[in-house]
Structure 1
Amino acid sequence: MPAFGRHLPSLTALRFFAAFAVLMYHLHLYFTPLAGGLALFGYGFTGVSFFFILSGFVLTWSYREGSSPRTFYWHRIARIWPLHLLTSALAVFAPPLTPATAFNWTSVPFVASLTQAWIPASPFLGSYNGVSWSLSCEAFFYLVFPVLLPKMALSTRVSRVMIAVPLLMLLMSLGLTVVSSVAAADYLLGSMPLYRLGEFVLGIGLAKVMSHGWVPRFSPGQAAFLLFALYLGLFGLSHLLDRPVPVTLANLILVPAFLAIIAACSQADLSGTTRLLGSPALIRLGQWSFALYLVHELVLRFAKPYANAPGLTILLAGAVVLASVILSGLLHEFVEKPAERWLRQSGKERTGPQVQHP
């Protein structure tokens, strides 16, 4: 079987670590008594940037030439919408973390259609299940993917894109941070789908250069060391700045490490040298990662009113993590998988046999 399109199990395992980083970031953010002890997770939000890059890589790696865009779109709907709609409905009953996450009927059409991230200064961005803003970005990536992919067919074009996109994102980040208000920069460089498309495009580019024969000369361990070093570097930079590194700049600083670890782990899978990340337990947790990402904030919202109870904070934080992981497993096995399978099958029955997508 050609390398392009082969299953890469270690990437599934990596998804768990990215979702777990986001979970711990929110725990650090909202369980204020533990903020100091969880300071290491202060930049855990960068796990979303990793997901955007990984999404571009995996979709490109597994895409089959000749597949119809209609089938691709239907499979993407089957993949993300059922669990998104369920967790959004459950969020109605969860206490809000902030006023922005309070129940708001006017946001229903935007949240349901995953268009909430397109509205500047909108109260809809955090409505219902706040983390779903990133799915609004993903939905846009899916929409443009069949158009983008053919335009990155030539290796010379891909190489230019891999250089130009990070530079453009950096210039936009520095420029808008200087000339815009903090709120405007946070939106334009944080949740705006058009800006975050750059990370998705980098994932596409990485899959393309590997399909054209590029082989990373570094191991997963070396890539992990780079990620660890750059992540710790964020704390050093925040000390120099005397304030936290802006979200968009933190994401950009870690992009090279995210690309490196995806490339190295993919090559390890292809060469049959995958070790820890190939373990059945981590792969299973990786399969639960989408559900973990969507459910953890709801668990946190139920627990937060008791976060300051004397002697209970650490136990409650542990319970939040454990409950989130357990619920993610249940949601994956009994909601996410069956719903996706049913929707794909129903789509096949209406349109006839189609090439399958991941």
Structure 2
Amino acid sequence: MQGTPLRRNRLRSLTGLRFFAAMMVVLLHAAQRFDPIHGLTSVVGFGYAGVSFFFMLSGFILAWTSRDADTARQFYWRRFARVWPLHALTTGMAIVVALLVGLPLLWPALTAILTLVQAWFPGPDIKYAFNGPSWSLSCELFFYLLFPWLIKVLMRRQRILSTAIAVGAVMVAVAGACAMLFQPEHLGFLLYTMPAFRLGEFVIGILLAIALQRGWRPRISMMQAVLGTLIMYGMLALAANLVLHDVARLPYFVADLWMMPGCAAIIAAGAAGDLRGDRGIIRSAPVVRLGQWSFALYLVHELILKASEPLVDDLDSTSATVVAVVVIVLSVVASGGLYVWFERPMERRLRAWVAPKQEVTA
């Protein structure tokens, strides 16, 4: 894959889409934390599917930008520079917020949090400690450790799309088997936060990137992919509300698996459009900039929600909604500040220690 003209294409739509995936998570957490607007969970209750999108997109981008000359050491250092500094900073911010608001802190969990192994712990206490959304970085660390080997193995595959479908089918089969063999209280760990299960989404992302590098193009446009995914989301929400009377009662893994084809379709259609030179709002400079802020938004939003929660819960629904909008806007602004003044400069500085002449890429 090294040296191909496709490698030099900037996939602007995928950067822009990161913002909307992060915003799905933000809206879900806002509805969950602010009691007066909790009813919105019937609409945004599957926002956690945005994490599936990120896992798949992570595999896609890493495969798309993979360099044959890279050593594992170089790759690992770039990933460390990209993820860990902001994670460490927001963990420190989480401690400050907890002390200010009066929330308990599980200090013994701090080592697991800072070393990003928290998602391997079954109980919620450790994996959601300090800054809850950071559990997904524990999965990403596992993906990164395997990537130098995975990319070599998957590049040897001839039937790339068939392999991607097979990976998805295996995930469904594993989920079904676990649902029959284990108690419901164990399924959240086994099928939602455990890195080994979520690896499948990352692998599918890698396979999509390889397929596009080899000339495959999806037969649907970005608009069709997004519309189809929204229809699938609406169908799931309607079924959950009618049958379960509460979308929160639907196991997370069911929604993730249901939405997985839509996430794959959006990524493939968006990348194909970028290669064609398509234009549109999703590729505009403001949206791409928001997408660049998405990692910071993902890590900082819950801290701002925690700090704001005591101010909202005594309000009526209308007032709480107004405050929630303000809080979300503040979260986006804060993410921009973190990206510009900390995340990006720190990443550049750390990467320069290993490869001073290499351009820093997303």
In the alignment, which of 338, 346, 352 is matched to residue 353 of structure 2?
346
CA shift, 1:102, in A, is 3.3
In the alignment, which of 63, 77, 95 is matched to residue 60 of structure 1?
63
Moved more, 22-31 or 234-243: 234-243
In the alignment, which of 86, 93, 116 is matched to residue 90 of structure 1?
93
Residues 85-106 of structure 1 show CA distances to partners (whole Å, capped at 9, x for unaligned) of: 000011012239x99x831221
- Which amino acid counterpart does residue 80 of structure 1 have in structure 2? V
RMSD: 1.9
Residues 91-135 of structure 1 show CA distances to partners (whole Å, capped at 9, x for unaligned) of: 012239x99x83122111110010111122252111111100000
CA shift, 1:256, in A, is 0.8
CA shift, 1:354, in A, is 6.0
- Number of the residue aligned with 1:284: 289
Asked if the contact 1:67–1:354 (Cα under 8 Å) also holds between the matched residues in 2, the reply is no
Partner secondary structure for residue 36 of structure 1: helix
- Number of the residue aligned with 1:228: 230
- Number of the residue aligned with 1:16: 19
Write 1 or 2 for the structure with the bigger share of helix. 2
In the alignment, which of 152, 155, 166 is matched to residue 164 of structure 1?
166
Moved more, 43-52 or 181-190: 181-190
Matches within 5 A, 1:1-358: 2-37=5-40, 39-95=42-98, 102-121=104-123, 123-239=125-241, 241-242=243-244, 243-244=246-247, 245-311=250-316, 312-348=319-355, 358=362
- Which amino acid counterpart does residue 316 of structure 1 have in structure 2? V
TM-score of the superposed pair, with normalisation by structure 1: 0.94
- Which amino acid counterpart does residue 335 of structure 2 have in structure 1? S
Moved more, 86-95 or 8-17: 86-95
Asked if the contact 2:351–2:360 (Cα under 8 Å) also holds between the matched residues in 1, the reply is no
CA shift, 1:157, in A, is 4.7
Partner secondary structure for residue 128 of structure 1: coil
Asked if the contact 1:291–1:329 (Cα under 8 Å) also holds between the matched residues in 2, the reply is yes
Between the aligned partners of 1:315 and 1:14, the Cα distance in structure 2 is 25
Between the aligned partners of 1:87 and 1:20, the Cα distance in structure 2 is 18
* Moved segments of 4+, more than 4 Å: 353-357
- Which amino acid counterpart does residue 275 of structure 1 have in structure 2? G
CA shift, 1:306, in A, is 2.0
Asked if the contact 1:9–1:283 (Cα under 8 Å) also holds between the matched residues in 2, the reply is yes
Asked if the contact 1:155–1:208 (Cα under 8 Å) also holds between the matched residues in 2, the reply is no
Residues 253-290 of structure 1 show CA distances to partners (whole Å, capped at 9, x for unaligned) of: 11111111111111111111131111110000000000
Identity, % of aligned positions = 40
Q: Tell me how many residue pairs correspond in the alignment.
A: 353
Between the aligned partners of 2:5 and 2:292, the Cα distance in structure 1 is 24
CA shift, 1:357, in A, is 5.4
CA shift, 1:240, in A, is 5.0
CA shift, 1:248, in A, is 0.4
Partner secondary structure for residue 9 of structure 2: coil
Between the aligned partners of 2:150 and 2:104, the Cα distance in structure 1 is 37
CA shift, 1:237, in A, is 2.4
CA shift, 1:39, in A, is 2.8
CA shift, 1:318, in A, is 1.4
